[in-house]
């Protein structure tokens, strides 16, 4: 029997499932987790859970999860006090900061930041206090092309999500939610939601070079060639324009550029693109007529469409198809989530804004343009290696493992090894943090509060869900928000240790709260317009991230406006709803109010997109590489950092090279034999797995493995038989608009090893 049951949202992936956590008391007064199950009462996940969800207990108890700061001495790490760690950081940074150019410090933010409340609020202040232009994040090995295409069209990062629960027809490209549980589409129990589409007579089509777990369950699988998506989508538009079925409906009057479509899409006939897609013209024509003929339909693209050479163009084309089929912003189509804690599309004047500008800055070495204040990670190594004013000499990593997750790991590792100083906020000594001089470990997920500030923006329903920490901090641990505030204070020139440092951290927290509240009071269209900031801060009656969340939610679209709508949402209300607050299905007809473009319309074209369309036109008849590498995810792993959980890694080796039997026979590879895979940048030797699930001419290796490098202290993960596929991915193979890496479609050679 449990002594206590706690409820908490799972922070491990974008699905955000509700967990029911049973705890028992121990004689020393502390508590132990007995069992973790899906929370049947969760308003969004209704009991669904994947094999990773219950491993929050294992993460919490993992002996390799650091519980004290670690400092490198004589080549090894030793545990120290927090004050000592922060003093070491201040001393290590001193020569770099006094030299003047703040660009000498780079910062990399990894994926877990998007799943953690405190960093979502405090990282911005940290970046500001470092004062560098060298800001990098996992976004540019991931979804940046989709954010940019959305911002170009709608004026802010408003990413349409497929209305899974009401659609009649779902076309998914480069997404495998049966393994990933969904991405840029927050939908706990994605598999169940897909099954219901079929149960109600709808159809699911999956476009993927591999017959993925999702393709297996779909009604139709289209085995496209890697990088073929932009050509395929362009051909769909071509067919719809030619047969007159393209009909944006009510959005016609809210869109600029529709008249240019016929001319620009004329080159992309189903016949002309076949060489690039490997898809028969007849299949394209049927797909086009099914999309326009279905009562409602949604097109959804993910990693296979963003992490490829036409990332932004493919992402844009997904929504062009949603638009011309009349399915954008309407029920059952591709819709916009209304996020309780607010988002750019719910702030400022409805229907108009400054829009999106590409490349406010250019990088020092290669002149690569920034997006949303960041440079693509593809330029991080060259910024570290290349001497000159502004060369990166120190790095701060927060919840990221670029040495494993970023392209050309060989080069990335040697770049990180060249730094004068490095600080990592991270629980593990892994491929990246082994290069650090100081590691500052956050507590485990069970010791943190949670609210999916980032991911509920992409919900297939409007949901708000707050969880308090399940377990307290142990002696000697520090809250992740505090860690970030203390680090921020050091860059701001404040004290690194003692009560003065704590006061400085509290001061920065207060500034953060004032800034968030101030932005709302200065917004003429907000419910707290003109109110007094200090009064609002006082009214929250809370501290830290909870105070910030209270402000965000109360000034958000469902908020109580600090009194203006007594029935509205606040932290008090969220705390009264431990299973989450369901704010209903997605609202249709958000356009035009949602738009933040200068014209007040959906802007279909700009110079960058036109030049990519031209490149698409110019390359339509080109040959593709004879063998191309793509990635793969498995439900039991999570990027590079959960292979230390034994219950997840047991069983057969999942880090294999999947190869079609025809290719394997030609090359002379039997099942299980070692294959040598070579790309422009590196090579790996990996066990081969013959399977007809993959298209001939394509091989697949999952990422996040190969964690046995010297210095890595992950007892379970280091024993796993695997290789790092990012030794093969090429930092110069990228989407030209965003610089986002093309992790898929990497030309490789495969031979027996």
Sites of contact with ligand SF4 (CB under 6 A) = 10, 12-13, 15-17, 49-50, 52-53, 181, 188
State the nearest-atom distance from the C-beta of 191 to ligand SF4, in Å. Answer: 10
State the nearest-atom distance from the C-beta of 455 to Mo ion, in Å. Answer: 11
Inter-CA distances, 336 with 44, 339, 461, 589, Å = 17, 9, 10, 9
Query: What SS3 class is residue 698?
Result: strand
State the nearest-atom distance from the C-beta of 183 to ligand SF4, in Å. Answer: 10
Burial-class residue 626 by CB neighbours within 10 Å (0-12, 13-18, 19+).
Answer: exposed
What's the rounded Cα separation, in Å, for the pair 580 and 46? 11
State the nearest-atom distance from the C-beta of 172 to ligand MGD, in Å. Answer: 8
Q: CB under 5 to 8 A by kind: which of ligand MGD, ligand SF4, Mo ion, none does 459 bind? A: none
Residues in touch with ligand MGD (CB under 6 A): 13-14, 110-112, 116, 138, 141-142, 173-177, 179-181, 183, 207-210, 212, 224, 226-227, 229, 302-305, 308, 398-402, 405, 425-428, 430, 432, 442, 480, 630-631, 633, 635, 637-641, 703-704, 725-726, 729, 743-745
Q: Which is nearer to ligand SF4, 633 or 734 (CB)?
A: 633
Residue of minimal Cβ distance to Mo ion? 142
Q: Which is nearer to ligand SF4, 17 or 536 (CB)?
A: 17
Q: Which is nearer to ligand SF4, 86 or 458 (CB)?
A: 458
State the nearest-atom distance from the C-beta of 550 to ligand SF4, in Å. Answer: 24
What's the rounded Cα separation, in Å, for the pair 659 and 670? 10
State the nearest-atom distance from the C-beta of 651 to ligand SF4, in Å. Answer: 17
Q: Is position 142 an interface residue for Mo ion (rule: CB under 5 A)?
A: yes
What's the rounded Cα separation, in Å, for the pair 536 and 562? 7
- Beta carbons of 435 and 417 less than 8 angstroms apart: yes
Angle at 557 between CA 553 and CA 562, to 5 degrees: 55
> Burial letters for 491-529: b for 16+ Cβ neighbours within 10 Å, e otherwise?
bbebbbbeeebeebbeebbeebbbebbebbbebeebbbe
H or E element at residue 324: helix 311-324
State the nearest-atom distance from the C-beta of 120 to ligand SF4, in Å. Answer: 17
DSSP symbol at 681:
S
| Longest Cα separation, the chain | 76
What's the rounded Cα separation, in Å, for the pair 674 and 690? 12
Subset of 643-662 contacting Mo ion (CB under 5 A): none
Q: CB under 5 to 8 A by kind: which of ligand SF4, ligand MGD, Mo ion, none does 355 bind? A: none
Q: CB under 5 to 8 A by kind: which of ligand MGD, Mo ion, ligand SF4, none does 430 bind? A: ligand MGD
Q: Which is nearer to ligand SF4, 6 or 483 (CB)?
A: 6
Sign of CA dihedral 220, 223, 227, 232: negative
The number of residues making up the chain comes to: 753
What's the rounded Cα separation, in Å, for the pair 452 and 9? 9
Residue of minimal Cβ distance to ligand SF4? 53
Q: Which is nearer to Mo ion, 141 or 595 (CB)?
A: 141
State the nearest-atom distance from the C-beta of 9 to ligand SF4, in Å. Answer: 8
Stretch 664-693: interaction string toward Mo ion, x if CB under 5 A: ------------------------------
Q: Which is nearer to ligand SF4, 49 or 750 (CB)?
A: 49
Q: Which is nearer to Mo ion, 179 or 283 (CB)?
A: 179
Q: CB under 5 to 8 A by kind: which of Mo ion, ligand MGD, ligand SF4, none does 403 bind? A: none
Residue of minimal Cβ distance to ligand MGD? 304
Q: ω before 265 within 30° of 0 (cis)?
A: no
Q: Which is nearer to Mo ion, 531 or 703 (CB)?
A: 703
Q: Which is nearer to Mo ion, 141 or 392 (CB)?
A: 141
Sign of CA dihedral 130, 125, 455, 397: positive
State the nearest-atom distance from the C-beta of 250 to ligand MGD, in Å. Answer: 30
Strand partners, 209: none
What's the rounded Cα separation, in Å, for the pair 126 and 371? 18
What's the rounded Cα separation, in Å, for the pair 430 and 432? 5
State the nearest-atom distance from the C-beta of 511 to ligand MGD, in Å. Answer: 22
Q: Which is nearer to ligand SF4, 320 or 453 (CB)?
A: 453
Q: Which is nearer to ligand MGD, 167 or 397 (CB)?
A: 397
Q: Is position 560 an interface residue for Mo ion (rule: CB under 5 A)?
A: no
What's the rounded Cα separation, in Å, for the pair 689 and 660? 9
State the nearest-atom distance from the C-beta of 16 to ligand SF4, in Å. Answer: 5
Strand order in the sheet with 18-25: 4-9, 18-25, 31-38
DSSP string for residues in 533-562: HHHHHHHH---HHHHHHHHHHHTSTTB-GG
Q: CB under 5 to 8 A by kind: which of ligand SF4, Mo ion, ligand MGD, none does 332 bind? A: none
The contact set with Mo ion (CB under 5 A) reads 142
């Amino acid at each position: 029997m449990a002594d206590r049951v706690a409820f908490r949202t799972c922070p491990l992936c974008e699905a955000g499932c509700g967990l029911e956590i049973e705890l028992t008391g121990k004689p020393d007064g502390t508590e132990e987790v007995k069992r973790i199950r899906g929370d049947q009462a969760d308003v969004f996940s209704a009991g669904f859970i994947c094999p990773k969800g219950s491993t929050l207990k294992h993460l919490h108890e993992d002996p390799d999860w650091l519980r004290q700061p670690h400092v490198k001495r004589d080549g090894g790490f030793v545990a120290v006090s927090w004050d000592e760690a922060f003093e070491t950081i201040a001393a290590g940074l001193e020569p770099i900061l006094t030299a003047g150019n703040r660009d000498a410090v780079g910062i990399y933010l990894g994926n877990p930041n998007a799943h953690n409340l405190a960093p979502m609020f405090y990282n911005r202040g940290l970046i500001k206090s470092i004062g560098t232009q060298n800001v990098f994040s996992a976004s540019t090995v991931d979804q940046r092309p989709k954010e940019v295409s959305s911002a170009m069209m709608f004026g802010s990062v408003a990413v349409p999500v497929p209305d899974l629960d009401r659609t009649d027809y779902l076309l998914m490209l480069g997404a495998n939610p049966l393994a990933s549980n969904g991405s840029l589409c927050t939908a706990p129990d994605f598999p169940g939601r897909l099954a219901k589409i079929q149960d109600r007579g709808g159809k699911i089509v999956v476009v993927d070079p591999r017959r993925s777990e999702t393709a297996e369950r779909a009604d139709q699988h289209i085995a496209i060639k890697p990088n073929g998506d932009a050509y395929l989508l362009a051909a769909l538009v071509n067919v719809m324009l030619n047969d007159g079925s393209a009909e944006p409906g009510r959005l016609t009057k809210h869109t600029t550029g529709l008249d240019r479509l016929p001319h620009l899409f004329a080159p992309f006939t189903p016949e002309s693109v076949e060489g690039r897609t490997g898809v028969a013209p007849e299949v394209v024509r049927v797909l086009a007529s099914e999309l326009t003929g279905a009562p409602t339909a949604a097109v959804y693209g993910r990693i296979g469409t963003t992490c490829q050479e036409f990332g932004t163009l493919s992402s844009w084309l997904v929504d062009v198809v949603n638009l011309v089929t009349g399915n954008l912003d309407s029920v059952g189509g591709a819709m916009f989530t209304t996020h309780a804690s607010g988002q750019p599309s719910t702030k400022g004047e409805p229907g108009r804004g400054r829009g999106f500008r590409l490349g406010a800055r250019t990088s020092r070495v290669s002149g690569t343009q920034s997006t949303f204040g960041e440079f693509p990670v593809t330029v991080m190594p060259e910024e570290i290696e290349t001497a000159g004013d502004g060369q990166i000499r120190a790095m701060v990593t927060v919840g990221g493992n670029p040495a494993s997750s970023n392209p050309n790991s060989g080069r990335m590792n040697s770049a990180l090894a060249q730094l004068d100083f490095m600080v990592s906020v991270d629980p593990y000594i892994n491929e990246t943090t082994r290069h650090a001089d100081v590691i500052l470990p956050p507590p485990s997920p069970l010791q943190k509060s949670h609210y999916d500030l980032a991911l509920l923006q992409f919900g297939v329903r409007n949901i708000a869900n707050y969880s308090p920490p399940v377990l307290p901090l142990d002696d000697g641990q520090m809250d992740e928000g505090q860690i970030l505030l203390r680090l921020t204070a050091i860059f701001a020139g404040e004290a690194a240790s003692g009560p003065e440092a704590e006061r400085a951290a509290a001061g920065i927290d207060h500034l953060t709260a004032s800034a968030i509240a101030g932005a709302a009071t200065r917004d003429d269209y907000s419910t707290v317009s003109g109110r007094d900031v200090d009064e609002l801060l006082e009214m929250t009656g809370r501290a830290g991230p909870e105070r910030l969340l209270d402000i965000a939610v109360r000034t958000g679209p469902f908020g109580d406006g600090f009194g203006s709508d007594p029935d509205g949402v606040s932290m008090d209300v969220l705390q009264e709803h431990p299973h989450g607050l369901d704010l209903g299905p997605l609202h249709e007809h958000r356009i035009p109010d949602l738009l933040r473009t200068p014209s007040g319309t959906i802007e279909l074209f700009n110079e960058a997109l036109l030049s990519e369309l031209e490149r698409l036109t110019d390359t339509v008849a080109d040959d593709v590489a004879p063998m191309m590498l793509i990635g793969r995810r498995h439900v039991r792993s999570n990027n590079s950092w959960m292979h230390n959980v034994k219950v997840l890694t047991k069983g057969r080796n999942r880090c294999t090279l999947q190869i079609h039997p025809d290719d394997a026979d030609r090359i002379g590879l039997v099942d299980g034999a070692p294959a040598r895979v070579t790309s422009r940048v590196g090579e790996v030797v990996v066990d081969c797995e013959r399977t007809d699930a993959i298209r001939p001419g394509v091989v697949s290796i999952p990422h996040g493995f190969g964690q046995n490098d010297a210095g890595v202290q992950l007892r379970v993960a280091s024993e796993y038989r695997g290789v790092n596929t990012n030794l093969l991915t090429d930092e110069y193979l990228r989407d030209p608009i965003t610089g986002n890496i093309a992790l898929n479609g990497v030309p490789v050679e495969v031979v027996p090893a």
